[in-house]
Amino acid sequence: MKKTSLKGAIISCLAGAAIGFSGMASAKHLPGVSDADVLNDATTTEDVVSYGLGSQGQRFSPLDKVNTDTVKHLVPAWTFSYGGEKQRGQEAQPVVSNGRIFVTASYSRLFAIDARTGDELWEYNHRLPDGILPCCDVINRGAALYGNLVIFGTLDAKLVALDADTGKRVWSKKIDDYKAGYSFTAAPMIVNGMVITGVSGGEFGIVGRVEARDAKTGRMLWSRPTIEGNMGYKYVQVEGKKKPKKVENGITGELNKSWPGDMWKHGGGATWLGGTYDPETNLIFYGTGNPAPWNAHTRPGDNLYSASTLALNPETGKIVWAYQSSPNDAWDFDGVNEFISFDLKKDGKVIKAGAKADRNGFFYVLNRTNGELISATPFITKQGWTTGVDMETGRPIETGERPGAPVTEGKDHKGKPVFAVPSFLGGKNWMPMAYNPQTDLFYVPANEWGMDLWNEPVTYKKGAAYIGAGFTIKPLYEDYIGALRAIDPKSGEIVWEYKNNAPLWGGVLTTGGNLVFTGTPEGFLKAFDAKTGEEVWKFQTGSGVVGCPITWEMDGEQYVAVPSGWGGAVPLWGGDVAKRIKHLNQGGSLWVFKLHKM
Kindly state the percentage of the chain with pLDDT values over 90: 86
Three-state DSSP state, 399:
coil
pLDDT in tens, 343-376: 999 889 999 999 999 999 999 999 999 999 999 9
376, 467, 382: which is closest to 136 by C-alpha? 467
Buried-state track 49-82, b at ≥16 Cβ within 10 A, e below 16: bbbbbbbbbbbbbebbbbbbebbeebeebbbbbb
112, 113, 136, 106: which is closest to 16 by C-alpha? 106
Q: In terms of C-beta density within 10 A (0-12 exposed, 13-18 middle, 19 or more buried), how is residue 401 classed?
A: middle
CB contact at 8 A, 446 and 378: no
- Mean pLDDT, rounded, of the chain: 93
pLDDT in tens, 44-79: 999 999 999 999 999 999 999 999 999 999 999 999
Sketch the domain layout of the chain as residue ranges.
Answer: 6-595
pLDDT in tens, 409-466: 777 889 999 999 999 999 999 999 999 999 999 999 999 999 999 999 999 999 999 9
Please tell me the predicted confidence (pLDDT) of residue 29: 66
Residue 344 pairs in a beta bridge with 351
Confidence check: pLDDT of 186 > 50: yes
468, 446, 291: which is closest to 359 by C-alpha? 446
Please tell me the predicted confidence (pLDDT) of residue 79: 98
> Mean pLDDT throughout 186-214?
97
Confidence check: pLDDT of 12 > 50: no
405, 497, 387: which is closest to 454 by C-alpha? 405
Query: Which residues are part of the catalytic machinery?
Result: 332
- Region label for 157, one of left (φ > 0), alpha (ψ between -120 and 50) or beta (otherwise): left
> Mean pLDDT throughout 260-271?
97
- Residue 221, H or E segment: strand 220-225
Please tell me the predicted confidence (pLDDT) of residue 22: 41
CB contact at 8 A, 284 and 257: no
Pick the CATH number of 6-595 from 2.140.10.10, 2.50.20.10, 2.60.120.380, 3.30.300.30: 2.140.10.10
> Mean pLDDT throughout 157-166?
98
Residue 246 pairs in a beta bridge with 235
List of residues 6+ apart from 329 with CB closer than 8 A: 290, 291, 296, 303, 306, 307, 335
pLDDT in tens, 489-518: 999 999 999 999 999 999 999 999 999 999
